[in-house]
Amino acid sequence: MASPEGYLTGFIVLVWIFLSIRSDVFLTERNIGVLLSQVALIAITGFGMTLLMIAREVDLSVGSMQAFVGVLAMQSLNRWPYLLVGIAVAILLGVIVGLINSGLTLKLGITSFIVTLAMMQILRGAAYTSTSAAVQNDHKLSSFKRVFNGAIIEDPVRIPWPVAIMAFFFVLFSLIVAKTTFGRSLYALGSNPEAAALSGIHVWRLKTICFVITSALAGLSAFMLIARMNSGQNNAGFGFELQVIGAVLLGGASLAGGKGTILGTFLATLLLGSLNNGITLMGYNPNWQWAVTGIIILIAVLLDSVRRRVTQES
């Protein structure tokens, strides 16, 4: 049975061929840059979610964090207009949310689905309350907008900052998952938590790290969003968690844990982003993107079910 990465690569090639035929704009350098920049926010959070789902947990609050962290980071920037202040606030808020999620899940024994579902609502409500349902915007962020809309390299190929940041985390977490004791312990934990605990793996510590990494990366992506849009919006991130989780599942992760790769998550995110980009370029109603995302998530869950059944029978 071919790997999820192999299937995804084939689908991406077919989609890109089809879209390049239907639209002369699709394969232009500008559109590919836009596509990868849009994909970057989902992929960066998805890398953290991949670790978390390998460990048999999930975080539904990453979408609301786009609003909550974005609004508070913007308010901080309105007061102290320094790039590092905004990044620090965004990541710190992510770390705090991750610690709360892990504490409630692991210490109280509540499933992460329920904990993060509640946190999703809490953060969304907090974002609306803290802004009186208004967008926070300040001209002082214009320099940061230029940074994140600019490129780390202009010649010979333009590489936007979000793409460079995504590439950094892709390499970092690929190495961590594949080459370190942490990565091996993570797969062991997800495959059989009881056996992992008996073998000396610190289950609570490992899962806590995964929760914190996921939330911290969601916070960073929230900051990247406000820097690009020059605004913190309390309605940002609706459906973001479904895009992230759908991409991770489509990339080969399992709801039962113990499976998933960073490469698979990136390829799945690229496939979803390509489909959404194509819908826009071909002039279809952008709301079809929600339907496509839902269908992809359903396909991902069905594939996960088939993979588990095949594994059990073999």
Domain boundaries, the chain: 4-306
Strand partners for 136: 232
Range 4-306 has CATH code 1.10.3470? yes
| Average pLDDT along the chain, 314 residues, taken 10 residues at a time | 82 94 90 93 98 97 95 87 88 98 95 97 92 66 72 82 95 96 95 90 95 98 89 88 92 90 96 91 83 82 76 67
| Nearest residue to 105 (alpha-carbon basis) of 93, 116, 91, 89 | 116
- Judge residue 122's burial from the number of C-beta atoms within 10 Å of its C-beta, 0-12 exposed, 13-18 middle, 19 or more buried: middle
Query: What is the Cα 236 distance to its own chain's centre?
Result: 14
Q: Identify the pLDDT of residue 151.
A: 80
Tell me what pLDDT residue 31 has. Answer: 92
How far is Cα 149 from Cα 126, in angstroms, rounded to an integer? Answer: 28
pTM above 0.85, yes or no: yes
Nearest-5° Cα angle at 122, 118 to 124: 115
Distance CA 122, CA 129 (A): 10
Give the count of beta carbons closer than 10 Å to the beta carbon of residue 222: 33
Q: Six-digit token pair at 42?
A: 């989902």
Whether 267 contacts 276, CB under 8 Å: no
Q: In DSSP terms, which residues pair with 159 in a beta bridge?
A: 153
Q: At what angle are helices 240-250 and 29-54 packed, to 10 degrees?
A: 80
